[in-house]
């Protein structure tokens, strides 16, 4: 059995050595064929033309504004207790924020999809809280952040990452952690990051990465957006960012276990050029979704099924870390705890 890492670096395929005679190998071959077909139909990155990345046609079930709103209506109740300690730890946050170059307490920072303020708490270690703006589309998530005494002087804005309610050239830093996976049009969100940054400003986005195991990929893609590194890079370049840097992060408790194919996170940062255009380079048509637009009757009918199935798919992502951490704690003794590019 061998692991092959493709040229893109994020694709891992398992190749079994099989004989031509026995029934077991015959079945294994059939299974491999099925997996290869699945890989091809989910997306063949080497063949995909780059322009496909601008507008991803296949979206996850919760990768919609209204679905995400209702998802967080309930998840906000337990978010700080069960989500961050497992998936987005203090160490991961601090590592990612180093890439955001928060070098002065006077920087004006926008935290998009700031939710309950976990990343904002990391930001205010480097920047004065009154210079920080937390934007989120979920009032329920933001209510939790508003209750945190350390964030009392932060500016709170209810709004959409894809249509930021700020003039162009307003901020020195743009940070968004764990929110891009809910955006129906990631290219639009990243273009908005470019627009609201001052020239010379830096955008840092932290998000999940395309799973390398087909089973994990099935659940993740069903749930929401898990882009490949190439897609992140493309969206940044297309918006006009330069000096693009990418690094990978993951909970130390996983001890670098990769067999499940889930890569917990990628941090990407890019600079708005000092002498570059003030507006994003890519021209996008009208926004596809808005939280305030009313439901059509078809949407009303589909919504509960889509939402429930989306939650079930998300549950896989939520419970898998328990198994990985248990396995790591019991069976893995001396593997590096540092997460790196797979
Ligand atoms: C996983 S939470 C991350 C919260 C926070 N950044 C953290 O580090 O804990 C994702 C957040 O993104 C918000 N979100 C999703 N889609 C959004 C959109 N289109 N505009 C603004 N916020 C959005 C959700 O409401 C949620 O609070």
Q: Are 172 and 110 in contact (CB under 8 A)?
A: no
82 with 22, same domain? no
How many domains does the chain fold into? Answer: 2
Residue 208 beta carbon below 6 angstroms from any ligand 1 atom: no
pLDDT (mean) for 171-182: 97
26 with 170, same domain? no
| pTM exceeding 0.75 | yes
Residue 340 domain-assigned?
A: no
Q: Are 10 and 229 in contact (CB under 8 A)?
A: yes
CATH number of the domain enclosing 260: 3.40.50.150
Residue 338 domain-assigned?
A: no
Q: How confident is the model at residue 45 (pLDDT cuts 50, 70, 90)?
A: very low
Q: What percent of the chain has a predicted confidence (pLDDT) above 90?
A: 52
Residue 162 beta carbon below 6 angstroms from any ligand 1 atom: yes
Phi, psi at residue 110, to the nearest 5°? -110, 125
Residue 5: strand pairing partners? 12
74 with 211, same domain? yes
Distance 271 CA to ligand 1 centre (A): 22
40 with 72, same domain? no
- Pick the more confident residue, 233 or 265: 233
Distance 116 CA to ligand 1 centre (A): 9
pLDDT at 288 over 60: yes
Residue 342 domain-assigned?
A: no
Q: How confident is the model at residue 269 (pLDDT cuts 50, 70, 90)?
A: very high
Residue 234 beta carbon below 6 angstroms from any ligand 1 atom: no
Confidence at residue 334, expressed as pLDDT on a 0 to 100 scale: 57
Residue 282 domain-assigned?
A: yes
Residue 137 beta carbon below 6 angstroms from any ligand 1 atom: yes
- Pick the more confident residue, 34 or 297: 297
Residue 58 domain-assigned?
A: yes
124 with 169, same domain? yes
Residue 65 beta carbon below 6 angstroms from any ligand 1 atom: yes
Confidence at residue 166, expressed as pLDDT on a 0 to 100 scale: 98
7 with 122, same domain? no
Question: Among 94, 174, 102, which residue's Cα sits nearest to residue 133?
Answer: 174
Confidence at residue 40, expressed as pLDDT on a 0 to 100 scale: 45
Nearest-Å Rg of the Cα atoms of the chain is: 21
Confidence at residue 189, expressed as pLDDT on a 0 to 100 scale: 98
333 contacts: CB under 8 Å, gap ≥ 6? none
Residue 218: strand pairing partners? none
Q: How confident is the model at residue 276 (pLDDT cuts 50, 70, 90)?
A: confident
| Residue indicated by tokens 């190998």 | 25
pLDDT at 255 over 70: no
> What's the first-to-final CA gap in the chain, in angstroms?
18
Question: Among 229, 237, 178, 225, which residue's Cα sits nearest to residue 340?
Answer: 229
pLDDT at 34 over 60: no
Confidence at residue 219, expressed as pLDDT on a 0 to 100 scale: 86
Residue 341 domain-assigned?
A: no
Residue 136 beta carbon below 6 angstroms from any ligand 1 atom: yes
- Determine the structural domain holding residue 33 and report its residue range: 1-47
- SS3 readout for 158-182: ECECCECCCCCCCEEEEEEECCHHH
Question: Among 239, 267, 266, 212, which residue's Cα sits nearest to residue 97?
Answer: 267
40 with 169, same domain? no
Distance 77 CA to ligand 1 centre (A): 14
Mean predicted lDDT score pLDDT of the chain: 82
253 with 319, same domain? yes
31 with 119, same domain? no
Residue 309 domain-assigned?
A: yes
194 with 312, same domain? yes
Distance 282 CA to ligand 1 centre (A): 24
**CA–CA gap between residue 302 and residue 56 (Å, rounded):** 21
Least confident of 61-70, 286-295, 329-338: 329-338
111 with 225, same domain? yes
21 with 81, same domain? no
Alpha helices in the chain (DSSP H): 23-42, 51-54, 65-78, 84-87, 90-99, 118-123, 139-146, 186-196, 214-223, 229-239, 297-331
Residue 283 domain-assigned?
A: yes
Distance 152 CA to ligand 1 centre (A): 19
């Amino acid at each position: 059995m061998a692991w092959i890492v493709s040229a893109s670096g994020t694709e891992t395929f398992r190749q079994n050595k099989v004989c031509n005679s026995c029934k077991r190998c015959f079945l294994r071959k059939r299974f491999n064929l099925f997996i290869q077909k699945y890989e091809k139909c989910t997306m063949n990155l080497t063949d995909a033309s780059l322009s496909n990345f601008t507008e991803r046609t296949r979206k996850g079930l919760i990768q919609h504004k209204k679905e995400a709103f209702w998802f967080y209506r309930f998840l906000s109740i337990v978010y700080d207790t069960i989500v961050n300690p497992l998936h987005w730890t203090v160490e991961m946050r601090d590592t990612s924020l180093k890439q955001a170059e928060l070098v002065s307490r006077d920087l004006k920072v926008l935290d998009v999809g700031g939710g309950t303020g976990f990343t904002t708490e990391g930001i205010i270690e480097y920047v004065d809280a009154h210079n920080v703006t937390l934007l989120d589309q979920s009032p329920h998530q933001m209510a939790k952040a508003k209750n945190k005494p350390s964030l009392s002087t932060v500016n709170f804005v209810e709004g959409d990452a894809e249509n930021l309610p700020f003039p162009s050239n307003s901020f020195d830093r743009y940070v968004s952690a764990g929110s891009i996976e809910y955006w129906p049009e990631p290219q639009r969100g990243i273009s908005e990051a470019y627009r609201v940054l001052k020239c010379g400003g830096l955008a840092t986005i932290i998000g999940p990465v395309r799973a390398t195991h087909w089973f994990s990929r099935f659940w993740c893609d069903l749930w929401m957006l898990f882009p490949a590194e190439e897609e992140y890079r493309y969206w940044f370049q297309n918006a006009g960012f330069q000096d693009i840097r990418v690094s990978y992060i993951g909970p130390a408790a996983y001890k670098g276990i990769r067999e499940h194919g889930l890569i917990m996170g990628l941090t990407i940062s890019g600079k708005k050029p000092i002498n570059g255009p003030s507006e994003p380079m890519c021209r996008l048509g009208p926004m596809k979704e808005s939280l305030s637009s009313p439901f059509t009757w078809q949407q009303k009918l589909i919504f509960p099924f889509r939402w429930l199935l989306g939650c079930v798919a998300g549950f896989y992502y939520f419970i898998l870390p328990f198994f990985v951490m248990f396995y790591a704690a019991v069976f893995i003794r001396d593997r590096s705890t540092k997460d790196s590019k797979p």
